[in-house]
Structure 1
Amino acid sequence: MLLGKKRELGRKVEEIKIGEKLKLTEKIEDKDLLLYLGLTNDSNPLYIQHDFAAQTTFGKPVVPNIMLTGILTSAVSKYVPGPGSYITGQQLKFLKPIHHYATIDFLLEVVEVNIDHNEVIVQVEGVDENGEIAVQGQITANPPRIVE
């Protein structure tokens, strides 16, 4: 944690350009799943119990979609536009399940910048190890504004 440490604000809307891209690679580990389940008290056996998931069409436990959403919104908060950003909307489609231990390549691209409304729209996509799109959509965020 960065408690007590002053952080630099992310970029202002005027500094962001359409076409900017960011690529992240995330590997889903047991610790990530257990933290999510503990934090949310989500006890869906599809997320953690192999014997239960084996009875479903998924065949094995899947990663909760909200975890994938968290990875994407975290990237907006950290990088595009960065610290101080406020997410105002998201529209995501989960096209296929992600299983435990998967490695996902996420691509974020700025597709719209509205200076008057202090808003950016970031197109997002997550591709699995087979090169298949697992998640895609858009996140809308307000970059930080400096108080003067």
Structure 2
Amino acid sequence: MSDTITRGTIHADELEVGMCRTLTKEVTDRDIELFAEVSTDRNPVHLDDEYANATMFKGRIAHGMLTAGLISAVIGEQLPGHGTIYLGQNLAFKAPVRPGDVVTAEVTVMEVDPVKGRATLKTECLVDGKPVLTGEAKVLAPRRS
């Protein structure tokens, strides 16, 4: 996993519309297996080549929420970062993510209410520059002590 900035915290009063952070990760078979174990979602479209080849996807795909988890990593580690609390997230899955795909999760600040410490974030995951997941998150950004 790699990211474009140092991890940490951007406090509510430091957030600005247009701020953007990314994280890039190759989704591996092991990631899919571990996600299936932790989530208990053992849908064969994720784990069984023979089954998945007979579906509309013509092969195994990663869990959608595994991909969405990369957005959570950007929010929790980079923007706003440590101490951020998720208030809500909507997601639209645009295309499957397959084992071996390199996913870039991107989070961009759309609105900020520094008084309440709330922010609205555009969330997106891309494979080869094409959106595989889009959405919007509402978060409570960390405040200074």
Q: TM-score, normalised by structure 2?
A: 0.89
CA drift at 1:11:
2.3
Match for residue 122 of structure 2?
123
**Residues of 1 paired with 2:73 and 2:104: CA distance?**
15
Unmatched tracts of structure 2, length 5 or more:
1-6
Whether the aligned pair in 2 keeps the contact of 1:111 and 1:123 (CA below 8 Å) is yes
Which segment drifts farther, 57-66 or 24-33? 24-33
1:144 paired with 2:107, answer no
| Aligned equivalent of 2:131, options 128, 133, 141 | 133
**1:95 to partner: Cα distance:** 0.7
Offset at residue 9 of structure 1 (A): 6.6
Task: Count the aligned residue pairs.
Answer: 139
Identity among equivalent pairs (%): 22
Matched, 1:106 2:141: no
What RMSD over aligned residues (CA atoms) do the two structures have, in Å? 1.5
1:78 equivalenced with 2:74 (yes/no):
no
Q: Residue deviations 1:17-73, cap 9 Å, x none?
A: 111111221110122111111111111001111000011100001110111111101
- The one-character-per-residue Cα deviations of 1:63-120 (angstroms, maximum 9, x if unpaired) are 1011111110111000000101000010111011111111112221111101122111
Q: 20-29 vs 8-17, which deviates more?
A: 8-17
Equivalent residues in 2 for 1:1-148, closer than 5 Å: 10-129=9-128, 131-147=129-145
Partner-residue secondary structure (3-state), 1:11:
coil
- How far apart in 1 are the matches of 2:87 and 2:140? 7
How many angstroms apart in 1 are the aligned matches of 2:111 and 2:32? 33
Greater radius of gyration (CA): 1
Structure 1: 5+ residue stretches without partners: 1-7
